[in-house]
Amino acid sequence: MQALRPLGAEIRNEFPILEQQVKGKALVYLDNAATTQKPRRVIEALSQYYERDNSNVHRGLHELSNRATARYEGARERVARYIGAASGETIVFTRGTTEGINLVANSWGARNIGPGDAILLTEMEHHSNIVPWQLLAQRTGARIVWAPVTGDEGLLDMDAVRALLAQKPKLFGFVHVSNSLGTINPAAELCALARRHGVATLVDGAQSAGHMPLDVQALGCDFLALSGHKMCGPTGIGALYGRADLLEGMPPWQGGGEMIARVNFESSTYKPAPYRFEAGTPDIAGAIGLGEAADYVDELGRTRICEHDFELAQAAYERLAAIPGMRLLGPRENRASLVAFALDGVHAHDVVSLADEEGVALRGGHHCTQPLMRKLGLVGSARASFYFYNTPAEVDRLVETVGQIERFFRR
């Protein structure tokens, strides 16, 4: 086994994009919750595929098609291993977390959710885990029930969750790590509670997949959706894990080539899962890139990444707290790799625009969690989100810059 590579400053040379200046200053990229940067290894996997193996999968009889198919299916196995799934047959390639959730809502949801049924979601969901269910509810006459977020620190109200699960909603969808608070929800406990009441579970793993060890069997979830681009992989590719027996019972949601067994003029029969859910030529290069990213992140070690990111986020949290007029969101402890904040009287977009002038890339706004922001009484917040290539020196730049912005507006 090779020696563990150091994280932080010493790994930055594997990320070509980080070696640049923005507005004449060294780029400090702190928008990793939106998308992470890509290591050279993933970029090369994409170009190698196009330069050597490019072909369509599953139906060619020639050498290139065989290679492309082997690499595409190999990537499925790599993703399965990455999240502790028993086999690649439980992994559907999607465009990302959003499409994974839409797939569950449209396929599993259409078959299992009817008029009057409840769909339980939390108040800290991303729009991607709200709107697909609203669309389904409108179509079927189901209703959405909200598990409250409580207290200044933005934790899930576990007593309320227990009571709501006892009313037997059909499905409980929740975000593993909140992109706007940094809250880490107790996913295994939530899945166990849901299972006790026969409630299916869907975990939005967009923010957790690249940042912490994930084992869908240990979590005990029925579905988990993730995005490749938030874990060093390409954009436009993601994966949906589904429990094998559930996937097998689900109808197709998009029709076309690749997903059929036999097509007649009158009707068609479909391939088994996961192929039934992958109509048309898939994003072959993207899947291969995702598989490469999964191996890359795994080799670095997700426990170490988690610790590294937590240290940076915690340091940022403590030091930003010392700035006058600062309101920090999310839990004080046990937080994920991000810090969201609001400066009294200063709009998040002003903070982000001025930080950009200093070469510091932040995110500002409602972070696709408008209902939560309204509940917190905020128009939006600014957010710094970290990954394993960020350094303590970048936390210094962040704190310095936000301090300058505060003074600028107080002058």
Partner 1 sequence: MNLPELYQEIILEHAKRPMNRGVLENATVTVPAENPTCGDEVTLQLRVADDKIEDVRFTGQGCAICMASASMMTRAVKGKPCAEAGALFRQVHDSVHGKGEMPKGEIAAIGGVREFPQRVKCAMLAWRAFEQALQGAPSQTGITVTTETPAPNAQI
State yes or no: residue 403 binds partner 1 (CB under 8 A). Answer: no
Closer to partner 1 at the Cβ: 315 or 378? 378
Tell which positions 132-161 bind partner 1, by CB under 8 A.
134-135
In the bound complex, what is the minimum distance in angstroms from residue 140's beta carbon to partner 1?
16
Contact pick of 298, 347, 371, 403 for partner 1 (by CB under 8 A): 347
Residue 37, token pair as written in the block: 């940067």
Task: List the one residue from 237, 373, 398, 402 that touches partner 1 (CB under 8 A).
Answer: 373
Among 195, 248, 379, 396, binds partner 1 (CB under 8 A): 379
**Pair 241, 82: CB distance under 8 Å:** no
Does position 370 interact with partner 1 (CB under 8 A)? The reply is yes
Nearer to partner 1 by C-beta: 55 or 134? Answer: 134
Cis amide leading into 274 (omega within 30): yes
Minimum distance from residue 135 beta carbon to partner 1 (Å): 8
* Cβ nearer to partner 1, comparing 289 with 364: 364
Q: Is the CB of 245 or the CB of 344 nearer to partner 1?
A: 344
CB 123, CB 149: distance < 8 Å: yes
Q: What is the 3-state secondary structure (H, E, C) of 173-229?
A: EEECECCCCCEECCHHHHHHHHHHCCCEEEEECCCCCCCCCCCHHHHCCCEEEEEHH
339 Cβ partners below 8 Å, 6+ apart?
182, 313, 316, 317, 320, 328, 330, 383, 384, 385
Closer CB to partner 1, 53 or 123, in the complex: 123
Which residues are known catalytic residues? 368
If the CB atoms of residues 68 and 355 are measured against partner 1, the closer one turns out to be: 355
Q: Total residues contacting partner 1 (rule CB under 8 A)?
A: 23
DSSP annotation string for 336-373: -SEEEEEETTB-HHHHHHHHHHTTEE-EEE-TT-HHHH
Tell me how far, at minimum, the Cβ of 380 lies from partner 1, in Å.
5
Report the C-alpha gap between 285 and 173 in whole angstroms.
30
Q: Are 229 and 235 in contact (CB under 8 A)?
A: yes
Distances (CA, A) of 329 to 31, 105, 181, 266: 17, 30, 6, 56
Task: Report d(CA 134, CA 195) in Å as an integer.
Answer: 23
Closest distance to partner 1 from the beta carbon of 85 (Å): 32
Toward partner 1, which CB reaches closer, 369 or 390? 369
Tokens coding 327: 């309101």
75 contacts partner 1 (rule: CB under 8 A): no
The DSSP letter of residue 276 is: G
Q: Binding of partner 1 at residue 349 (CB under 8 A)?
A: yes
Among 6, 256, 257, 345, binds partner 1 (CB under 8 A): 345
Nearest to 209 by CA among 280, 128, 306, 114: 306
CB neighbours (10 Å) of residue 59? Answer: 10
Scanning residues 209 to 248, which ones bind partner 1 (CB under 8 A)? none
CB of 295 to partner 1, least distance (A): 36
Question: In the set 287, 294, 342, 346, which binds partner 1 (CB under 8 A)?
Answer: 346
Whole-number minimum distance, CB 125 to partner 1, in Å? 14
Residue with smaller CB distance to partner 1, 314 or 370? 370
**Nearest distance from C-beta of residue 407 to partner 1, angstroms:** 12
- Please, what is the minimum distance in Å from the beta carbon of residue 393 to partner 1? 23
350 to 369: interface string for partner 1, x by CB under 8 A: x--xx-xx------xxx---
Contact between 279 and 256 (Cβ < 8 Å): yes
Backbone phi, psi, residue 312, to 5°: -65, -45
List residues binding partner 1 (CB under 8 A). Answer: 131, 134-135, 345-350, 353-354, 356-357, 364-366, 370, 373, 379-380, 408-409, 411
